[in-house]
Amino acid sequence: MKEPTRPIPQPTVDRDGSLVAHTVATPTAFKVRARVTIGSRKVIPVIFVPGIMGSNLRARRDMAARNDDILKPGEAAWRPPNGAVDGYKEARKWSRRGPSHRQRILDGSLLEVDPAGELDFAPYALDQRELRERGWGEVYADSYGALLVDLQKHLDKTFQVTPHGNREIRHFWRRVMQCPPAQWGVRNVERVTESELEKYAAFQYPVYAFGYNWLESCTVSAQRLRRRIDEIKKFWIERKHECRKVILVTHSMGGLVARACARASDPGDGSAPDIAGIVHAVMPALGAPVAYRRIASGTERGNFTNGLSDNLRAGKFAEIAGDTSAETTPVMAVSAGILQLLPNHLYPKPWLSIKTVSVVNRREQVRDHLALPDGNPYDFYRDMKSWYRMIDPTLADPAGRYTSSRGGAEALIVKSIDEAERFHTKVLTANDGNGAPLRPYYHPNSYAFYGADRTFKAYGQIRWVAREESTGSTALTARNIRSGRLVLSDTNGTREVEIETDLRLRFALWPQDSHGDETVPVQSASAPAQYIRQIFGPDGFRHQESFQHESMLLLTRHLIVKIVQEVQ
């Protein structure tokens, strides 16, 4: 009869390569032996890169304090709430913070990654010291804990021996192999085979998390990711392990960071040979119009397709992120990282329309007047004078921090938009040579999945709409609407516009129009399809919850196995 065993935490690795496992002393009468899993000496670290707002931030420890600073050096600045109670408390705290307060806390130039975040995950096989060293405390536990725990529990355990001495595939890998393709949003899938698992099982897969300052340019975050990859490889090599490649798993904005990192990695041709592959989840590949909406009118408080409880949660998030443009502009308008999430030069145009609604023969009639942007979208963002502008520069510096700098807040805004344009048109581009046009860059061994739910509507376009009175004497044209004068902006996001001299219209934003995941519309998220190995478009999850969906955890493991097949 097989002797009973109990699992203990995985061993740690000393600098000389020795494996060290710890357990507690037990009485001699306790006959259950401790069981420790020893991984391969060939290591492929899996590094998770989160989305915007998914990294914990603190005031830089080397920050030179100013008289109006709110945070002390090293003090936490951004900690996403974990759980409903924590979310309610965080919403109350941020709802009391005005524009000036927000600007002084979320100043990207004064912040750095905070590694001391929540580690209250489900049971895992590593102690907290090891998790800190692997960066788990840098990221949002509530959103990403399920993924990190799932990978840590399952990646290193592929086969097992039955009581009869036969090898068999563990049940959690059989579920990956048997998952219906429809749950992954495709008709057919090349299933993982037992021979592929045999090759996969020859490696060990330690799981890391990489936090970054999401207010800074993704270019800066990509450089930091490159250094982290080098540090992780060096760690294992110094401990007598073979570690030549890593795998990146990303969420949302983290996909842009990972692509920029791979694009700039040696030898500089985009091959990034020490990155075995990248799994992209819900990436805004072409940007997302919701970024314009949140700067121009504040964070939306829900979705018309949601139920009451979901909209209550969305309202709490809006209180944290800022539900008016006065609250969002001081943070978002000067943040290159956030501006890099706007619809870029490849997003299908036009994506902003201006309409009026009138009643004709007792029926409502919608008229289209303007379709924008009608040129370079970054010129559209740099426009801070038109009534439909995204950024009101007078809202950007309530704390008066840029008054002494040349050009003030407006110059900093333009600089940040310029960096966003450079990032998409220069950094995330590739040239195949032979005079071919530039194309978006993706690592050659990339996979992606995105939310394609018809219920979880996202902004595929922005629609400013006003009700047109039938008694008006001014004929509306594209010219006079474009040149209209902004008279008043309400806190609810509506804008009163004077057309010529005798007509005023109140423009409001129509709700989300495109299927997606409530944040990224399908026209952006599906764009990598022609450049990567395979893309999956399932439904059933919201943007921030994509790695809490069981089918997506199975898909992530499936894709990691496929990536490893290319490792020589």
Candidate from 52-56, 60-64, 250-254, 319-323 with smallest mean pLDDT = 60-64
3-class SS letters over 238-265: HCCCECCCEEEEEECHHHHHHHHHHHHC
Condensed to tens digits (0 to 9), the pLDDT of residues 416-468 reads 999 999 999 999 999 876 767 789 999 999 999 999 999 999 999 999 999 98
Whether residue 14 is predicted with pLDDT greater than 90 in this model: the reply is: no
Q: Is the distance from CB of 265 to CB of 257 less than 8 angstroms? A: no
Q: Is the distance from CB of 298 to CB of 324 less than 8 angstroms? A: yes
pLDDT at 226: 98
Tokens of 137: 């405390």
Bridge partners of 49, per DSSP, are 250
CB contact set of 486 (below 8 Å; sequence gap of 6+): 387, 495, 496, 497, 498
Cis bond upstream, residue 444 (ω within 30): no
Condensed to tens digits (0 to 9), the pLDDT of residues 139-181 reads 999 999 999 999 999 999 999 998 888 999 999 999 999 999 9
Give the count of alpha carbons within 13 A of 395, CB side only.
24
Cross-sheet strand order for the sheet of 246-251: 207-209, 46-49, 246-251, 275-281, 446-449, 534-536
> pLDDT-based confidence at 19, cuts 50/70/90?
low
> pLDDT-based confidence at 298, cuts 50/70/90?
very high
Whether residue 506 is predicted with pLDDT greater than 60 in this model: the reply is: yes
What span, in angstroms and rounded, lies between the C-alpha atoms of 539 and 546? 10
pLDDT mean across residues, the chain:
92
Amino acid identity of residue 410, one-letter, is E
Whether residue 314 is predicted with pLDDT greater than 80 in this model: the reply is: yes
**What is the radius of gyration, based on Cα positions, of the chain?**
26
Mean pLDDT of 328-353: 98
Mean pLDDT of 363-374: 93
Mean pLDDT of 267-286: 97
Amino acid identity of residue 273, one-letter, is P
Residue whose C-alpha is closest to residue 101's, from 320, 273, 361 = 320
pLDDT at 35: 65
The better pLDDT of the pair 198, 126 is held by 198
Whether residue 105 is predicted with pLDDT greater than 90 in this model: the reply is: yes
Which helix H or strand E contains 221, and what residues bound it? Answer: helix 218-238
What span, in angstroms and rounded, lies between the C-alpha atoms of 513 and 352? 12
CB contact set of 485 (below 8 Å; sequence gap of 6+): 387, 497, 498
Mean pLDDT of 191-203: 97
String of b and e for 507-532 (b: at least 16 CB within 10 Å)?
bebbebebbbbbbbbbbbbbbbeebb
Q: Is the distance from CB of 114 to CB of 138 less than 8 angstroms? A: yes
Tokens of 448: 């992606």
Condensed to tens digits (0 to 9), the pLDDT of residues 526-542 reads 999 999 999 999 999 99
**Which long-range contacts does 177-183 make (Cβ < 8 Å, 24+ apart)?**
179/551, 179/554, 179/555, 179/558, 183/538, 183/551, 183/554
Share of the chain above pLDDT 70, in %: 93
pLDDT at 125: 61
pLDDT at 24: 65
The better pLDDT of the pair 27, 568 is held by 568
CB contact set of 84 (below 8 Å; sequence gap of 6+): 313
Amino acid identity of residue 257, one-letter, is V
Whether residue 8 is predicted with pLDDT greater than 90 in this model: the reply is: no
Whether residue 1 is predicted with pLDDT greater than 50 in this model: the reply is: no
Q: Is the distance from CB of 505 to CB of 356 less than 8 angstroms? A: yes
